[in-house]
């Protein structure tokens, strides 16, 4: 058995000020004993914790080492973060508790190395009741302890944890309900059609299975463990089916939420419309604690798939040619309804449009549409499969799950930029795009690692496609989404044991690439906050464009005391960068910014 340190040690490491043991005990009593000290995920592998001796737990450690990159064990755990930047203190390499992730099983820590708390909260509450949330809000108000919301832990942006905080762990809110004809509460006579209500903790994979049982298709993200009614939908939520059916934020018809004043509210097109708008793209962790969301679903349908791959040992030059080919084709593909993921050496695209997803002719039109890409790959010694499967779940099981289950345990930083359709309309635009690829390559981003989700609502008719009568498909995402074709991602993985200087070098490089991408698109582009570089300088405009000012007003209305605050969320202030609360990001941000000014 692991011997946990006494409560006083948590105070020392947690930097929580002003509360006594008694206050925590009172909080614990008011949440039915579901307040727990939060420990770093890999602690069972260590025999030092925050500098004090503890006993390692070999059985638990073996499971963690074998499954260090497995999403589900992180997603299910109150202290599990998919990306290491969620648990380490990114700006202080000694303040972390990670394992060497360069091979599996992840190796044991070197003797004498301490597992340190990093940005893992001091305590968490396993949320089962609304009163748990109220108790936490009261506690935050009384003792100024930062409050954070932790769901699946997928966040790239360090918004799901904070050093010294109290976390609301909402993963246990797991209800699923199917509605043949959903009526948003209080909207007399209005119907949203077929829909699924999912508790905020329900994983995307579980919703796909549930939808299929009800002969329906859920328009959801690519990772089975992402919480669709959590940060995904609140940040926008793209899917491979979004080009035809819209973003998660376009499709959600109702939220149940506890706002920071402690009130349970329904937000939909007839009640708290401002809040409803803000929750459809304004970002998680900002406007309250969402309990559940109701998403429109489509009938079950066949889906065409194209899985085209170049040999994995291709050169960077070959990869640049491939990306140019994808860019050449993409306006036509966009109009035809293809979504999916493009890579430097592959594409995996999907299309639900009946003319493409035609089981009778075995996808003849889909094959014709993909012929240039298939020929290119085959000529290079690669492979091509274009086929039609009877349902999205069949596509999910065959094409998504095999590669989507083990992406955890790394410090992956994404920098995405929405690329307006204009860039794909003529040779000059494509030349500019390719110029960006070459410039990014010079900064250290090999085109073979190019990655681009194709999930913008390109065919979907924003504002008119809803079955609801009013303007219910108007969202608060950056308006650039509705005019973009690609969401180009320049990414890197910071080595688990990188020094401060190495982290700063990597983050400076990716921020330079972020700025290059901004220059390429100007304000016609934008950035998806759920898949953004946390060190982006110009974040308000990048994440939300002209919507920021209205989002800030709504934030101030529902959270006047600023009880919920996260890194570069609506309401985050420039002063917060140098605050103690955000010191795990702040010093790096200041150093990245000064590197950029110095041009070094």
Ligand X SMILES: Cc1cc2nc3c(=O)[nH]c(=O)nc-3n(C[C@H](O)[C@H](O)[C@H](O)COP(=O)(O)OP(=O)(O)OC[C@H]3O[C@@H](n4cnc5c(N)ncnc54)[C@H](O)[C@@H]3O)c2cc1C
Q: Which residues bind ligand X (CB under 6 A)?
A: 82, 148-156, 159-160, 170, 200, 221-223, 226-227, 230-232, 234-235, 237-238, 284-285, 289-290, 407, 530-531, 566
> Is-cis flag, bond preceding 105, omega within 30?
yes
Our CB check for ligand NAG shows the closer of 506 and 542 to be 506
Closest CA to 538 of 86, 529, 550: 529
Q: Which of 33, 564, 3, 472 is nearest to 273 (CA)?
A: 472
377 touching ligand NAG, by CB under 6 A:
no
Residue 221 touches which of ligand NAG, ligand X, none (Cβ within 5-8 Å per kind): ligand X
* Listed ranges 187-195, 351-359, 380-388, 540-548: which one lies at the site for ligand NAG (CB under 6 A): 351-359
| Both structure tokens of 312 | 């994995």
The number of residues that bind ligand NAG (CB under 6 A) is: 41
- Burial class (CB within 10 angstroms; exposed 0-12, middle 13-18, buried 19+) of 119: buried
* Alpha-helix residue ranges (DSSP H) falling in 530-582: 539-544, 548-558
Minimum Å gap between C-beta 595 and ligand NAG is 12
Q: Which member of 444, 465, 524, 581 binds ligand NAG (CB under 6 A)?
A: 444
What contacts 99, CB < 8 A, 6 or more positions away?
Answer: 42, 45, 64, 65, 68, 106, 107, 108, 109, 409, 496
> Among 262, 201, 209, 247, which Cα is nearest to 228's?
201
What is the x/- site pattern for ligand NAG, positions 324-343, by CB under 6 A? xx--x---------------
Question: Which of 390, 280, 217 lies closest to 207 in space, CA to CA?
Answer: 217
Question: Are the CB atoms for 320 and 410 separated by under 8 Å?
Answer: no
C-alpha angle 73-78-80 in degrees, rounded to nearest 5: 45
Given ligand X, ligand NAG, none, residue 146, with its beta carbon under 5 to 8 Å by kind, binds none
Indicate the pairing of strand 166-169 with strand 123-126.
Answer: parallel
Q: Least distance in Å: CB of 571 to ligand NAG?
A: 22
Q: Which is nearer to ligand X, 226 or 507 (CB)?
A: 226
Nearer to ligand NAG, 372 or 552 (CB): 372
Torsion region of 125: left, alpha or beta (phi above 0 gives left; psi -120 to 50 gives alpha): beta
With CB under 6 A as the contact rule, the residue among 113, 266, 355, 380 that binds ligand NAG is 355
**Residue 20 binds to ligand NAG (criterion: CB under 6 A):** no
Residue with tokens 């089975």, as numbered in its chain: 224
Q: What is the DSSP string of 175-231?
A: -EEEESS---TT-TT----SEEEEETT-BHHHHHHHHHHTTEE----SSTTSBIIII
Binding mask 554-593 vs ligand NAG (x if CB under 6 A, - otherwise)? Answer: ----------------------------------------
265 binds, among ligand X, ligand NAG, none (CB under 5 to 8 A by kind): none
Minimum CB separation of residue 85 from ligand X in Å reads 11
Q: How far apart are CA 269 and CA 466, in angstroms?
A: 12
Asked if 361 is part of the footprint of ligand NAG (rule: CB under 6 A), the reply reads yes
By the rule CB under 6 A, 135 interacts with ligand NAG: yes
* Interacting partner of 522 out of ligand NAG, ligand X, none (Cβ under 5 to 8 A depending on kind): none
Which of 165, 76, 77 minimizes the C-alpha distance to 121?
A: 165
- 509 lines the binding site for ligand NAG (CB under 6 A): yes
Give the rounded distance of the alpha carbon of 300 from its chain centre: 26
Out of ligand X, ligand NAG, none, what residue 358 binds, judged by CB under 5 to 8 A for its kind, is ligand NAG
Closest to ligand X by CB, 437 or 566: 566
In this complex, which beta carbon is closest to ligand X, that of residue 154 or of residue 583? 154
**Residue 135 near which of ligand X, ligand NAG, none (CB within 5-8 Å, type-dependent):** ligand NAG
499, interface contact from ligand X, ligand NAG, none, CB < 5-8 Å by kind: ligand NAG
Q: Which does 354 bind (CB under 5 to 8 A by kind): ligand NAG, ligand X, none?
A: ligand NAG
| Torsion from C-alpha of 124, 130, 134, 137, nearest 10 degrees | 50
Alpha helix stretches (DSSP H) within 310-400? 316-336, 364-369, 371-379, 392-395
Residue 476: CB minimum distance to ligand NAG, A: 29
> Which candidate, 126, 104, 157, 130, places its Cα nearest to that of 37?
126
Q: Which of residues 458-497 bind ligand NAG (CB under 6 A)?
A: 492, 495, 497
Q: Which of ligand X, ligand NAG, none sits in contact with 506, Cβ below 5 to 8 A by type?
A: ligand NAG
Q: How far is the CB of 269 from ligand NAG (least distance, A)?
A: 30
Q: Does 5 bind ligand NAG (CB under 6 A)?
A: no
Q: Which two tokens stand for residue 555?
A: 């934030």
Residue length, the chain? 600
Site string for ligand NAG, 196-235 (x = CB under 6 A): ----------------------------------------
Q: Is 427 in the site for ligand NAG (CB under 6 A)?
A: yes
Of these partners, ligand X, ligand NAG, none, which one is at the site of residue 530 (CB under 5 to 8 Å by kind)? ligand X
Helix pair 371-379, 316-336: axis angle to 10 deg: 160
Dist CA 509 CA 443 (whole Å): 6
Choose the one of ligand X, ligand NAG, none that binds residue 30, judging by a C-beta under 5 to 8 angstroms depending on kind: ligand NAG
Residue nearest to ligand X (CB): 284
Q: Does 67 bind ligand NAG (CB under 6 A)?
A: yes
Sequence-distant (6+) residues with CB within 8 A of 29 are none
In the complex, the residues that contact ligand NAG under the rule CB under 6 A are 7, 28, 30, 33, 35-37, 63, 66-67, 70, 73, 100, 102-103, 107, 131, 134-135, 138, 321, 324-325, 328, 354-355, 358, 360-361, 427, 444-445, 492, 495, 497-499, 502, 505-506, 509
């Amino acid at each position: 058995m692991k011997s946990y340190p006494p409560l006083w040690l948590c105070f020392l490491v947690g930097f929580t000020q002003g509360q006594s043991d008694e206050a925590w005990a009172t909080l614990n009593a008011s949440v039915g004993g579901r307040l727990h000290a939060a420990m770093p995920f890999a602690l069972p592998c260590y025999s030092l914790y925050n500098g004090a001796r503890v006993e390692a737990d070999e059985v638990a450690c073996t499971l963690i080492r074998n499954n260090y990159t497995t999403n589900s064990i992180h997603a299910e755990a109150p202290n599990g973060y998919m990306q290491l930047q969620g648990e380490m203190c990114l700006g202080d390499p000694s303040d972390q508790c990670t394992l060497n992730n360069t091979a599996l099983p992840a190796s044991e820590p070197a003797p004498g190395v301490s597992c340190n708390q990093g940005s893992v909260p001091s305590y968490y509450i396993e949320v089962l009741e609304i009163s748990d949330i109220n108790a936490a809000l009261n506690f935050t108000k009384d003792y100024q302890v930062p409050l954070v919301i932790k769901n699946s832990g997928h966040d790239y942006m360090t918004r799901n944890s904070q050093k010294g905080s109290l976390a609301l762990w909402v993963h246990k809110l797991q209800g699923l309900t199917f509605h043949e004809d959903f009526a948003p509460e209080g909207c007399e006579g209005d119907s949203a059609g077929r829909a699924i209500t999912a508790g905020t903790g329900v994983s995307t994979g579980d919703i796909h299975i549930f939808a299929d049982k009800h002969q329906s298709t859920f328009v959801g993200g690519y990772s089975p463990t992402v919480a669709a009614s959590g940060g995904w939908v609140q940040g926008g939520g793209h899917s491979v089916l979004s080009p035809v059916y819209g973003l998660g934020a376009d499709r959600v018809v109702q939220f149940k939420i506890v706002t920071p004043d402690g009130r349970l509210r329904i937000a939909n097109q007839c009640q708290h419309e401002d809040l409803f708008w803000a929750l459809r793209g304004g970002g998680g962790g900002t406007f309250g604690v969402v309990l559940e969301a109701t998403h429109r679903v489509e009938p079950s349908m066949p889906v065409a798939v194209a899985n085209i791959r170049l040999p994995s040992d291709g050169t960077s030059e070959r990869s640049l040619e491939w990306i140019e080919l994808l860019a050449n084709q993409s306006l036509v593909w966009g109009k035809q309804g293809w979504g999916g993921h493009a890579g430097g050496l592959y594409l995996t695209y999907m299309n639900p449009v009946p003319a493409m997803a035609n089981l009778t002719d075995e996808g003849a039109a889909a094959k014709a549409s993909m012929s240039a890409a298939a020929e290119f790959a085959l000529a290079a010694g690669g492979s091509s499969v274009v086929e039609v499967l009877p349902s999205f779940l069949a596509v999910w099981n065959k094409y998504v799950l095999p590669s989507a289950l083990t992406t955890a345990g790394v410090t992956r930083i994404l920098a995405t930029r929405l690329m307006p359709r204009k860039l794909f309309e003529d040779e000059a635009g494509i030349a500019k795009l390719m110029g960006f690829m070459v410039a990014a390559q010079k900064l250290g981003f090999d085109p073979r690692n190019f990655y681009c989700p194709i999930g913008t609502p390109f065919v979907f008719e924003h504002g008119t496609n809803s079955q609801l009568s009013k303007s219910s498909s108007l969202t608060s995402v950056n308006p650039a989404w509705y005019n973009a074709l690609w969401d180009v991602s320049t990414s890197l993985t910071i080595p688990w044991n990188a020094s401060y200087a190495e982290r700063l070098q990597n983050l400076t490089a990716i921020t330079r690439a972020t700025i290059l991408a901004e220059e390429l698109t100007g304000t016609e582009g934008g950035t998806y906050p759920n898949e953004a570089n946390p060190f982006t300088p110009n974040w308000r405009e990048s994440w939300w464009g002209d919507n920021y000012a209205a989002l800030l007003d709504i934030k101030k209305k529902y959270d006047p005391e600023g009880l919920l605050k996260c890194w570069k969320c609506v309401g985050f202030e420039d002063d917060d960068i140098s605050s103690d609360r955000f010191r795990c990001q702040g010093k790096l941000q200041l150093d990245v910014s000064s590197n950029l000014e110095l041009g070094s």
